[in-house]
Amino acid sequence: MTKVALLVVGAGPAGWSAVSGYRAAGGGGPVLLAGEDAHPPYRRPPLSKDYLRGESGRDELALQPTTWYVREQVRMETRARVLALDAEARTADVDGVGSVAFDRCVITTGAAPARPAAIPGAEDSRALTLRTIENADALRAAGGRLVVVGSGFIGCEAAASMAMRGTEVTLVTDEAVPHAGRLGREVGERISGWLSETGVTVLTGREVGAVEPPAVRLADGARVTGDAVLLALGVEARVELAEAAGLDTEDGRLICDESGRTSADGIWAAGDLARLFNPTAGRRLTVEHWGEALTQGEVAGRSAAGQQSAWDSVPGFWSTIGRRTIKYAAWGDGHDDVRLRGDDAAWSAWFVRDGACVGVLSHNRDGDYELGRELVARGERIP
Ligand SMILES: Cc1cc2nc3c(=O)[nH]c(=O)nc-3n(C[C@H](O)[C@H](O)[C@H](O)COP(=O)(O)OP(=O)(O)OC[C@H]3O[C@@H](n4cnc5c(N)ncnc54)[C@H](O)[C@@H]3O)c2cc1C
């Protein structure tokens, strides 16, 4: 049996940051970072942007050089899926490593692209998804015509990037405009305009009846045919390991306090998988952002090392659609009004709930983004 002071399950940004935070807070002893991926932690955001467009290479994706793990005395194991976790005995069964006994553990198993059972054919493995380097490589090789299903950030970014590569892209969404549900109609219309600008054909208000790669059949019977189909229908948290270990979950996420501590002693969690309590917001939040995975991972790692640490910042997110960048800071769990300010070249959308600012999204107005973040944290009115 291998004995470690800290076991981190999942080697994405939250996992890397947990290890880094643990060491930075003086956490000692052997550390094992076990990830099922074939690669040490790497950046996912470029996979729908510059990497997908062929403007950056694999060698630019690694989060840290291999020398970092040596220097920090972290045993990084790739292709090492954690098969089972015993929260009481504090042991784990790790593929390729064997039985591991741990003093403390941080779970950062992240999320995987959704393949909703309600859509016939969504589970067909010929329908592509986008989460890993291998997924991005498959998409790049997918041929001259692509059908994208879904108009969230990944769907919009990937559609624009593929169109910029010269691919004929059709994006199908059941929303009235992309992002209407999350960001409101006016913001959605601007994003839709950017997609059209890059050459993407946007089919809005169209429900998908079935996925039949390389085509999709719409609910009204029409068929949209390409050389490949990309499903971009959101993600599902990978809670299966934690759930099997008996840890408490809520709406498919692992419940944590502000330090990332789960319902089991000695076990913390962070990132897409987790729903941490945010003391500034006064409630638990689900967040699927790169920066938050890093922040929460560090908090969980420091906490596991015995240092008091809390996730109390307003979640922030950047997205690039074609050549346009938006910055978004928000609690992300609902608004009752959106106010748009500015012109096509530079604008901000302010999100309001019960009179208080709960979010800001800006394009070429960085001052608004910074101010908005403060207003959200303080629960104040928009300017
Ligand atoms: C294409 C793309 C573009 C994105 N762009 C942006 C962006 O511009 N801005 C932004 O804020 N966010 C972006 N995101 C979201 C961001 O990447 C995620 O929020 C972030 O990766 C979450 O980090 P995580 O560590 O929680 O999970 P993940 O990154 O999913 O990492 C979890 C890791 O755990 C591994 N794992 C799962 N189960 C086990 C197990 N049992 N044993 C061992 N290992 C396991 C998984 O294989 C995975 O490698 C993007 C995501 C994608 C896919």
Q: How many structural domains does the chain have?
A: 3
**Cα 293 to ligand 1 centroid, rounded to whole Å:** 8
Shared domain check, 291 and 142: no
What is the reported pLDDT for 182? 87
Interval 326-338 mean pLDDT: 95
67: CATH: 3.50.50.60
Ligand 1 midpoint to CA 223 (Å) = 32
Looking at the fold, whether 292 and 336 belong to one and the same domain comes out as no
- Ligand 1 centroid, distance to 30 Cα (angstroms): 25
Q: Which pLDDT belongs to residue 349? A: 97
- 181 and 330: one domain? no
Query: What gap in Å lies between CA 197 and CA 365, rounded to an integer?
Result: 21
* Residue 321 confidence (pLDDT): 95
Give residues (CB < 6 A) around ligand 1. Answer: 9-15, 34-37, 44-45, 47-48, 81-82, 108-111, 130-131, 154, 238, 241, 271-273, 288-291, 293, 317-319
Query: Last residue of some domain: 180, 209, 231?
Result: 231
Structural domain includes residue 62: yes
Q: Report yes or no on 167 lying in a domain.
A: yes
- Residues 97 and 244 reside in one and the same domain: yes
Q: Specify the DSSP class assigned to residue 364.
A: S
The tokens of 338 are what?
Answer: 């959106």
Rounded mean pLDDT, 274-284: 98
ipTM comes to 0.99
Q: Say which CATH number the domain at 349 has.
A: 3.30.390.30
Over range 193-220, report the average pLDDT. 96
Q: What is the mean pLDDT of residues 228-254?
A: 97
What percentage of the chain reaches a pLDDT higher than 90?
98
DSSP β-ladder status, 98-107 and 2-9: parallel
Return the ligand 1 atom nearest residue 10 CA: 34
Confidence (pLDDT) at 89: 98
Q: Which of 36, 44, 97, 294 to mutate to test the pocket of ligand 1 (most atoms within 8 A of CB)?
A: 44
Query: What is the chain's mean pLDDT, rounded?
Result: 97
Residue 372 pLDDT more than 90?
yes
What is the phi/psi pair of residue 248, to 5°?
-75, 135
What is the pLDDT averaged over residues 210-218? 97
- Whether residue 314 is contained in a domain is answered as no
Q: State which of 270, 304, 338 marks the end of a domain.
A: 304
SS3 237: strand
Residues 6+ apart with CB under 8 A from 212: 121, 124, 223
Identify whether 312 is part of a domain: no
Q: Are residues 87 and 124 in the same domain?
A: no
For residue 218, the CA-to-ligand 1 centroid distance in Å is 30
Mutation choice for ligand 1 from 148, 290, 361, CB with most ligand atoms inside 8 A: 290
Question: Are 216 and 244 found together in one domain?
Answer: no
Residue 310 counted as domain residue: no
Q: Is the pLDDT of residue 383 over 90?
A: no
Same domain, 205 and 254: no
Percent of the chain residues past pLDDT 70, beyond the cut: 100
Among residues 231, 259, 277, which one ends one of the domains? 231
Of all protein residues, the one whose alpha carbon is nearest to atom 28 of ligand 1 is 110
Amino acid 181: pLDDT: 83
Please provide residue 243's backbone torsions phi and psi, each rounded to the nearest 5 degrees.
-65, -45
Ligand 1 centre distance from Cα of residue 337 (Å): 31
Same domain, 224 and 244: no
pLDDT the model gives residue 306 = 98
Residue 187 vs residues 50, 341, 359: alpha-carbon distances, Å: 23, 11, 13
- Our mutation pick for probing the ligand 1 site, out of 32, 39, 135, 272, counting the most ligand atoms within 8 A of Cβ, is 272
For the residues 7-23, what does the mean pLDDT come to?
Answer: 98
- Residue-by-residue DSSP string for 81-141: -EEEEETTTTEEEETTTEEEEEEEEEE---EEE---TTSTTTT-TTSB--SSHHHHHHHHT
| DSSP code, position 381 | P
CA nearest ligand 1 atom 5, residue = 45
Report CA-CA distances (Å) from 97 to 81, 120, 182, 245: 9, 38, 42, 19
Q: Are 48 and 130 in contact (CB under 8 A)?
A: yes
User: Among the atoms of ligand 1, which is closest to the Cα of residue 94?
Assistant: 42
pLDDT of residue 150: 96
Quote the tokens at residue 320.
């690039």
Residues 227 and 240 in one domain: no
Q: What is the domain range of residue 119?
A: 115-231
Residue 121 domain-assigned?
yes
Inform me whether the pLDDT recorded for 143 exceeds 90: no
Q: 53 with 198, same domain? A: no
* For residues 202-226, average pLDDT: 96
Residue 33 lies in a domain: yes
For residue 346, give both structure tokens: 């530079």
Verify that 98 and 239 share a domain, yes or no.
Answer: yes
The label of the residue with tokens 């959704």 reads 114
| Cβ 155 vs Cβ 149: under 8 Å | yes
pLDDT at 263: 98
Nearest CA to ligand 1 atom 34: 10
Would residue 317 count as lying in a domain? Answer: no
Residues 226 and 259 in one domain: no
DSSP SS3 for 184: coil
